[in-house]
Structure 1
């Protein structure tokens, strides 16, 4: 055991802990000494010996609440009794309880009885079975603080908790009171900075004591529990005496802090002084039966108090830096919670300001999300799903490549033309499954979007269900009086048939992007608005309907573009169309004349005029028209596809969903907030009772923690 620390520094450290305990900041565990024991275990006598404080002897004044007894050395003798309110008491109750204070210099039994009775009345304690007022309680979670000062006192603080009892005595005590006391005791001893002083009568079987079981549950390693054995003078059996001495000497089942044994004054000894009681105790342990343990340093009140003072000081010095760090951490956390709640929203202007700030934050983050400025907001690192433009770009690229490779119904040549573009591998691309999951998560979208995934089939091969046969069929069914040409209706019919997969492809893609945008909005709002009630009211009352309108506009624009591209007369002013037609004809000529080529003696590739005539001139009219239709269809489809994909990505996605003035991302802004009437503001941003209470609790905790930090820094 270390020698007892002394000096002004040690005294100041213990004073700080007592001041912190006065603040009653429950979120900070403080070093403390808690005494617990069953009723009639001798606990009151131990406390009296340790603190020189005599608990009053009067009916109905047994411990009904935790009692903090603090001793300090002062030139003048004084006793101050006050009440530390429980943490969850309301402000009015706290003020009333803190107003209670009694000071005296001569603490006789009669004076103390009157003070305790006054404190019980203030705390609403029922002291007799005749007290039938339903507002009264038998036990309380408030703490009675007794400060004892005098020239002979040393700094020492101990907390007494109500004695454990197992059977209620209605109507005075109930089963709820049994649980309340047990929970109160548990709340003290579970603190890892608490030294548990378990008071156990020597004349009972130690192994059956519930107090030890409770202490063992809170302190499994027994590193902060000390046993105090009382009433050794009532032990007459030699075997029991031997068991007690073995515990004290460390031979039995041990606690890490061991056991001490003290002799209480007898029940009929109410007049002896503290000096006389110490002399009686010393004489008792000097008897032959107890002489073996007299020199162990674990006998008597003096030894017990020294050991407890050492333990309390050691744990205080060891834990003080941790208490300081914990207080700072708690203060920062409470401040963040209060900041997240925003300013108090009790009037219309405050409600509008709160929502306006949310709208501004939403727009600021969204601009970063659309421009890819992810380093400017920590939200993107915390939630990668907010990287909107990255997801949109990937989805558009997947759509464009799918459209390119599979958007047509039939291949128009034996070898699929990659048009000089890089091949995109669709295998293993399962992003669509995620998109469908997102859509299914928002039932408000189900009547707007396509929630079923669309698997775009591969185009039919050139030789399977030949496109030339199909062109021939369409030509025969729609030919007119034209000579050597074909009508525009034939091109329209073949183009519509070739592009029949466009509609499901486009609607599935736009639906997927709507799901991404909707999920982004929902996720971002949840990130910037921690108040779930405000979020729910804002979402349901204002945003949902506006968002639905924006998504409907996007889907309507997609269908409009589909009608323009597929149902209107084929038309283009793009010079690329004519060059494509010429290239197709050139390719066809090269293919037809390849077999007629021969090599001259000089190595040049030549072809006869007759071969050219056979290839070009000797061709049926219908065959020529079918080839022309195929060349025009192939060229126009390519022009139309490129134009259409860009229009979908630029207009529907880029304008209607992302950047346009009526984009869903532009809905939640300051203008929307300014347009809300007083009833809507109150419904969305008004504080309910729970929020006001939480704000009040946070304000109170912050004030207490700030006071705690001032104490810790001094």
Structure 2
């Protein structure tokens, strides 16, 4: 706001007790106690109690944590904001040209036993650290208002806005706290005037800076905006009105202030349009409008009391007499603001308390992750023991499938099962992967997939187990497991029998004709189970990776990120790698067992061989029967036709079918025996991989082997110090969080002491 030099004001009033007085400057610049009607309006009993709560919250430091309710005065340049502020606070702000227009000024009025004026600078959060410290070090107190101009000029220079400064405006805030026995608890923020366009003295960057600064203040939901518009200019062209309607369309927290009505020609159309605006019939605000008369140039040296008298006389004439008195003048504005602030603050305080409690819980959680201070080796080891206890509870519950802890959170059903949130439910993920492994083994574990015979000579049935369903279940397998489809090749039964025959010839020993070397079954099984190793190794690696990611999440839940990272590096990563190596070793042993000569004591194998041979035998008999069948007409039965077997044709067919190729017969038997053996072995292999490898080496004792009291106990003092000793930055973080916690708890205590106010 642009202001000019103003001499001290001489106000005459009677003295009162503490509750009805305000501080003023006399001709000597010293404080006196006088009655002030405008401030009295801001000090109704209920309002004072509510404002006292907000003041106590602000003084406890909560303004750095929460957006506290406040009054913001904003308007275009030369709109009369300075006069509004002076009329409300009755503080003679310095009127040196361009002194108060270049940064936000926070004016804090506070009731106190003795009078004082103190100032400080709140640096812009984007300033470099060194500049922040320099500005924060500016703190000054004065005894009377005559020293205020020099003090404000000093602050302006520190911000880099003096005559030699490169900047014209700043996002720093000058905070002026004025205390005294009669002051109301009230905070107002005066913002730089909005600029319509750049000029020689004000650049485009200046326009944008002020525009953004005003937006930052007025968009806050707990801020009441006093939108000041000057009657000297068309209100449709004054930027502040559009800004207020953008952030507060209904005007629930916007009070329109019309200044300089004495510049309007009495009984003119222009005056009528402004009165219509004041009556809330043009631009409507739920809080309405108010009209104030500024001191004219001739009245610039008059006191506040004389200013109020002049204003009262002005509004007692012309069309202003027809307006309600509560929307005219500074005295009624004080009462109006008192009621407005009381309602607003009473509405906002419950939400403020809820936000305060939420932030307190958040800070407590961050401190919990940091743990207690731990300067000694004993405290450091004790800290890690506590971490291991929390960690073990999470991991053991995950392995058992008990998901009650808050760590497991909410599922993401539309995301993959190993999505970060879903992966927290470790048992569910491993069960899913085991089922994927079992499915892919049964579908694509066999190297050759036997299909129907190429020959029409004998329609043998397709092998029920080895032939896939009509539509393979690749759509049920995720991308990782579906890749193994390419490892399998299709082959007809005739080709399979021929391949076995070739192997039989090349592996013949001293066995009699029509039989085959027992080692032939081994060869056939080894060839058919070639894919097992590749699929099983992939499965073990995938489950191990899931366990590793889960452990990382669990550690980060149990302790802060820096300690978690060091624990992973010094102990956990090696432990997980060791468990994976053991799992791979066990899998290697199981794979090696499959390379031995087939041995089984499973009665299902014999049953499978018998069923397979019976199926083939029955198919052949059925085909022979169909060949020898004929239809015969029976005259005794009304010349109906009956299906009969021709014995001669049947005998001839059987003779023709007697296959002299004994190697083919042996090859067929060897193929069927190997397939029956494969059926049993693949189920066994799936079981031992999931139980002896996945369960035994990757899940069982997962918590114990990674972070447990025993693991912590085995760590050397140097290792413990490396993991748990608090670095300097963490000590600063703890101090910062402790200070935040103390500040928030002061605020909670303030609310607790004021609960009876709203009952």
Q: 1:565 deviation in Å?
A: 1.0
Distance 1:471 1:42, change over 3 A: closer
Q: What pairs with 1:144-159 in structure 2 (closer than 5 Å)?
A: 144-150=176-182, 157-159=187-189
User: Is structure 2 residue 280 aligned with structure 1 residue 250?
Assistant: yes
Q: Among residues 736, 742, 746, which one is paired with 1:703 in the alignment?
A: 742
Contact 2:116 2:178 in 1 (8 A): yes
Q: What pairs with 1:366-385 in structure 2 (closer than 5 Å)?
A: 366-375=395-404, 378-379=407-408, 381=410, 383-385=421-423
CA–CA distance in 1 between the matches of 2:487 and 2:368? 50
Structure 1: unaligned runs, 5 residues or longer: 437-450, 598-610
CA–CA distance in 2 between the matches of 1:251 and 1:575? 95
Q: Among residues 36, 44, 56, which one is paired with 1:19 in the alignment?
A: 56
User: Is structure 2 residue 146 aligned with structure 1 residue 110?
Assistant: yes
Instruction: String of CA shifts for 1:63-86, please: whole Å, max 9, x gaps.
Output: 5442224265x8x78344354856
Distance 1:435 1:695, change over 3 A: farther
CA–CA distance in 2 between the matches of 1:453 and 1:627? 28
Contact 1:576 1:639 in 2 (8 A): no
TM-score (norm 2): 0.72
Instruction: String of CA shifts for 1:163-204, please: whole Å, max 9, x gaps.
Output: 44578899x998766655444433322222222112222111
User: Is structure 2 residue 64 aligned with structure 1 residue 34?
Assistant: no
Cross-structure match for 2:636:
none
Cross-structure match for 2:628:
none
Contact 1:510 1:555 in 2 (8 A): yes
User: Is structure 2 residue 678 aligned with structure 1 residue 637?
Assistant: yes
Q: Among residues 103, 106, 109, which one is paired with 1:70 in the alignment?
A: 109
CA–CA distance in 2 between the matches of 1:538 and 1:416? 57
Match of 1:220, SS?
coil
Instruction: String of CA shifts for 1:415-457, please: whole Å, max 9, x gaps.
Output: 56779x9x99985454532546xxxxxxxxxxxxxx9544564
Distance 1:427 1:516, change over 3 A: farther
Q: 1:315 deviation in Å?
A: 1.0
Match of 1:374, SS?
coil
Q: What pairs with 1:505-584 in structure 2 (closer than 5 Å)?
A: 505-525=535-555, 527-528=557-558, 531=561, 547-548=576-577, 550-566=579-595, 568-572=596-600, 574=601, 576=603, 579=606, 583=610
Contact 1:432 1:453 in 2 (8 A): no
User: Is structure 2 residue 684 aligned with structure 1 residue 647?
Assistant: no
CA–CA distance in 2 between the matches of 1:41 and 1:201? 5
Cross-structure match for 2:255:
226
Cross-structure match for 2:629:
none
Cross-structure match for 1:56:
94
Cross-structure match for 2:364:
335
Q: Among residues 109, 118, 123, which one is paired with 1:81 in the alignment?
A: 118
User: Is structure 2 residue 338 aligned with structure 1 residue 309?
Assistant: yes
Contact 2:75 2:228 in 1 (8 A): yes
CA–CA distance in 1 between the matches of 2:683 and 2:677? 10
User: Is structure 2 residue 186 aligned with structure 1 residue 141?
Assistant: no
Distance 1:295 1:464, change over 3 A: same
- Between 1:451-460 and 1:265-274, the stretch displaced more is 451-460
Aligned Cα RMSD in Å? 4.9
User: Is structure 2 residue 500 aligned with structure 1 residue 471?
Assistant: yes
Contact 1:260 1:298 in 2 (8 A): yes
User: Is structure 2 residue 692 aligned with structure 1 residue 658?
Assistant: no
Q: What pairs with 1:250-329 in structure 2 (closer than 5 Å)?
A: 250-288=280-318, 290-293=319-322, 295-329=324-358
Instruction: String of CA shifts for 1:527-566, please: whole Å, max 9, x gaps.
Output: 55663x6666666776556645644553454344323313
CA–CA distance in 2 between the matches of 1:161 and 1:701? 28
Cross-structure match for 2:528:
498
User: Is structure 2 residue 433 aligned with structure 1 residue 433?
Assistant: no
Q: 1:126 deviation in Å?
A: 5.0
Q: 1:55 deviation in Å?
A: 1.0
Q: 1:357 deviation in Å?
A: 5.0
Distance 1:225 1:498, change over 3 A: closer
Contact 2:605 2:680 in 1 (8 A): no
CA–CA distance in 1 between the matches of 2:563 and 2:136? 36
Contact 2:449 2:490 in 1 (8 A): yes
Aligned residues: 659
CA–CA distance in 1 between the matches of 2:134 and 2:56? 18
Contact 2:123 2:132 in 1 (8 A): no
Distance 1:431 1:691, change over 3 A: farther
Q: 1:48 deviation in Å?
A: 1.7
CA–CA distance in 1 between the matches of 2:114 and 2:691? 87
TM-score (norm 1): 0.76
Instruction: String of CA shifts for 1:20-62, please: whole Å, max 9, x gaps.
Output: 2332424433332221234433222222222221113446742
Cross-structure match for 2:644:
none
CA–CA distance in 1 between the matches of 2:99 and 2:347? 37
